[in-house]
Amino acid sequence: MIHLRIVTPPARSEKVIGLLEATPSACNLIVLEGAARRPSGDVILCDVAREDASVVIGDLKELGVPRDGSIALEEIDSQISDAADRAERAAPGMPGDAVIWEEVESRTSEATELNANFLSFIALACLIASVGIMLGQPILIVGAMVVGPEFGPLAGLCVALVERRRDVGLRSLTALAVGFPVGISAAFVFSLLAKQTGLVEASFELGDHPLTSFISEPNTFSFIVALFAGVAGVLSLTSAKSGALVGVLISVTTIPAAAAIGVAAAFGDGADWVGAMAQLAINLSAILIGGVATLLLLNRVYQRRRRQHRGEGSRVAAGLPAERGKRIRF
């Protein structure tokens, strides 16, 4: 279940209450008249089945609630209530498969910010990966993959492409366009220092370490794995449980490839530099293809549910058109 806290002007409260009272998948409706101060208005609390959360929020957007008030979402971990059980049964689909598009937008918006933390993490990830490359230690490569923050902007770019969100797309591209050069530069400078101080022999070549040489040797499976990872990453992002995202980060070699570019450049290894560049390009493009395709499919399912919902009586109770309405962006 999803808990909604709605702040709305008194003039719009009647329609909001009518909508929620007529929605079978909503329960535990509470109205606090005049409780809100900034913005001023009524506070309306209710719980909605996760499967119908975006549909109900779409109706609230059509009523103009965000314009003069607000809608806050909160996940309910546990609830003991027969009314809640009836509300969940009234919503089509399964809670685990439900996508709350507003939640997806919020997650990706936060993850696309280019800030000091993002640059620090991507630089540190590339530094860890560069040590793993020079020592031929896969465990360090895995650690670097987990530390890397690059999937956030990649997911944001997928959302931007599907929803044609220019602002999100620009932020995502900026984060990637600045972040990867910073990480590559960090790996390059560190590798030069390691070379000059004798920590690593000047004759080092990435291909001499068979356990990590795959980073600069892309093949068909590089694209296939990254494609699968893009699908899994978006599913993890849109589902109620996002624990699978760690596995996604470990399965792609974006950070190791970026680090390998810096390492190869520092040691003048042209062949591995080209290979690492290709590996990075393949991984980024495959993740985007898999992520965009998955979001398009999920969004199509949501839009079909929206069309079905437009014929339901809850919209009539709120004074909204029952047969057709404007398409609501998530």
Query: What pLDDT score does 233 carry?
Result: 85
User: What pLDDT shows up at residue 175?
Assistant: 93
Which token pair is 284? 């980024």
Judge whether 97 and 172 are in contact, CB under 8 Å: no
Q: Is residue 172 part of a domain?
A: yes
Query: Are 84 and 170 in a shared domain?
Result: no
Q: Please tell me the predicted confidence (pLDDT) of residue 328.
A: 47
94 and 108 together in one domain:
no
**For residue 192, what pLDDT is reported?**
93
Q: What is the pLDDT of residue 8?
A: 94
Boundary-marking domain end, from 98, 127, 158: 98
Q: Quick one: pLDDT at residue 131?
A: 94
- As for how many domains the chain has, the answer is 2
Domain span including residue 41: 2-98
Whether residue 159 sits in one domain with residue 10: no
Cα separation, 165 vs 104, whole angstroms: 13
Give the per-residue pLDDT at 10: 92
pTM of the model: 0.81
In a domain, 330, yes or no: no
As a dihedral over the C-alpha atoms of residue 290, residue 242, residue 3, residue 98, rounded to 10 degrees, the angle is: 40
Full strand arrangement of the beta sheet holding 2-8: 26-37, 40-48, 2-8, 70-75
pLDDT at 312: 72
- Residue 37 and residue 112 in one domain: no
Surface-to-core class of residue 131, CB atoms within 10 Å of its CB (0-12 exposed, 13-18 middle, 19+ buried): buried
Q: Which segments in the chain show pLDDT lower than 50?
A: 325-330
Question: How many Å apart are CA 252 and CA 176, to the nearest integer?
Answer: 16
Task: Give me the pLDDT at residue 292, please.
Answer: 94
Same domain assignment for residues 281 and 173:
yes
